[in-house]
Amino acid sequence: MTWVMTSKKRFYLHDDESLLDGLLRTGHDISYQCREGYCGSCRVKRISSSHSVDYPFEPLAMIDEDEILPCCCRVQGVIHINHEPVIK
């Protein structure tokens, strides 16, 4: 089970649910467009995580080392993120 913590709330992801879908399900206001790592509009800051964050395929969007793409990343354990939009 994966637990997600934001400044707004704490919740867990359902089986096979993306981080983006979990954020939307729990009422977080997250921008997104492509859902495949191309545009980068969903990027959020990763504050901490108990496991590494990986991607089933390398995203095309440029992200900083402390950013993740909730639309296509895979998370496990506990992750704490800043869900406020990252301005680039």
3-state secondary structure the chain: CCEEECCCCEEECCCCCCHHHHHHHCCCCCCCCCCCCCCCCCCEEEEEECCCCECCCCCCCCCCCCEECCCCCECCCEEEEECCCCCC
The pLDDT profile of the chain, 88 residues, written as one tens digit per residue, is: 899 999 989 999 999 999 999 999 999 999 999 999 999 999 999 999 999 999 999 999 999 999 999 999 999 999 999 988 666 5
Question: In whole angstroms, what separates CA 40 from the centre of its chain?
Answer: 11
Instruction: State residue 83's pLDDT score.
Output: 83
Instruction: State residue 37's pLDDT score.
Output: 95
- Tell me which residue range forms the domain holding 63: 1-88
Report the CATH number at residue 50: 3.10.20.30
Instruction: Give how many domains the chain has, as a whole number.
Output: 1
Q: What's the predicted TM-score (pTM) here?
A: 0.92
Q: What number of residues does the chain have?
A: 88
Instruction: State residue 38's pLDDT score.
Output: 95
